[in-house]
Amino acid sequence: MNHAQCITILGSTGSIGTSTLDVLARHPDQYRIHALTASSQVNLMLSQCARFSPEVAVMAQEDAGRLLAEKVKAEGLPVRVLWGAQALDEVASAPQVDAVMAAIVGAAGLSPCLAAARSGKRLMLANKEALVVGADVFLEAVRAGGALLLPIDSEHSAIFQSLPEDPSTWQRRVQKIILTASGGPFRARDPQTLRHVTPEEACAHPNWVMGRKISVDSATMMNKALEVIEAHYLFGMSPEQLEVVIHPQSVIHSMVQYRDHSVVAQLGTPDMRVPIAYGLSWPERITSGAQALDFHALSAMTFEAMDQADHLLRFPGIQLAWETLRGAPGSCAVLNASNEVAVDAFLSKRIRFDQIQDVNRATLDSMSFSAPTGLEALLALDASSRSQAEQSILKMR
């Protein structure tokens, strides 16, 4: 790298954001931070400002922004504090910014992702919603702005690392993409007992340290359904070319099977700093801080088919990925919004764990919609889907 890259981190207080800061701290001569953003964790943002000295700190909520501004001033930190959706777009598209880590969870991250794409940034995508909700609108912004789109999800980063460098050859050379899934905390649990799952149990992932929402998605396998949708848009593969296999050890992060039936896979310890470091440095590689994989300590690597009868009972939502990809335009956005509402309802103990997919199915069946053509239409579809999901929840109580 010829100069220090200037970075904005959207969602710096989440698990991806804090891991990104850990990687950046290992390479102070190669990166500098323009902006950090967060939703409501004022004290953590304050400590990040004190340690990493961003030029700007943005809070999504006004009350959190005003409180942070007071604390930054009291500490004498030379950080400009902003708040609101417009400020998020501004720091994502600022002319001095080279790269953006997009790690805001949910549809709230869609607008700044679009702003970064239109501005031609190196866009490190850890926000599934940009593709699951934004789909063609987002990809058109990437093309129009000349942005470099780099996947950060461990599975999609693994696929990207396993594909040929020239995307124009992917369709000719690749037979299918195989996404691996750990199976989460309930891979071997009796499906009949899932109605009794507590939020604490669902958030206890056996391999990964993640936020509560994505931990629940892993427990239901909805994270994998969303990743299948994301892989379709990222790599241009048809639904028939996308497969999921359960790999409990989380050592192989995903695979690409070629036309000659050879398989290329990416392996590593389950640590998000690895794909983050790759996204930051591509096409080079930098140290991530993750432990090296010790093959001598690996007792076994096992795989299980997703279509086993028990797995289909445990994870009924996984099939929604292929159904929505083949469904009406906008179906994926509806699924994503409904799932966010359903997971929140489960975490707040308004519905049972096994009712999450009932909400998603009922919402999809109740909605009528057309393909969104821009950000306003996407947000409107997201809002109406959430409203319908709430109605579905009320009918279950």
Per-residue pLDDT tens for 136-184? 999 999 999 999 999 999 999 999 999 999 999 999 999 999 999 999 9
DSSP classification of residue 102: E
356 pLDDT more than 50: yes
Which CA distances in Å does 371 have to 14, 35, 119, 367?
31, 33, 24, 13
pLDDT of residue 1: 46
Look up the pTM and report it: 0.93
385 pLDDT more than 90: yes
311 pLDDT more than 50: yes
28-77 per-position pLDDT tens digit? 999 999 999 999 999 999 999 999 999 999 999 999 999 999 999 999 99
pLDDT averaged over the chain?
A: 95
CA separation for the pair 6, 47 (Å, rounded):
20
Q: Is 146 left (phi over 0), alpha (psi -120 to 50) or beta?
A: left
- Tell me the residue type at 9: I
- Tell me the residue type at 372: P
CA separation for the pair 143, 126 (Å, rounded):
19
For the chain, helix (H) and strand (E) counts, in that order, are 18, 12
By C-alpha distance, which of 28, 88, 13, 19 is closest to 58? 88
Q: Tokens 């801080």 belong to which residue? A: 289
How confident is the model over 222-246, as a mean pLDDT? 96
Indicate the pairing of strand 242-246 with strand 174-181.
parallel
Contacts of 295 by beta carbon, 8 Å cutoff, 6+ apart? none
CA separation for the pair 332, 70 (Å, rounded):
41
CA separation for the pair 160, 43 (Å, rounded):
36
Share of the chain above pLDDT 70, in %: 99
Tell me if 97 sits within 8 A of 34, measured CB to CB: yes
Share of the chain above pLDDT 90, in %: 88
Tell me if 282 sits within 8 A of 187, measured CB to CB: no
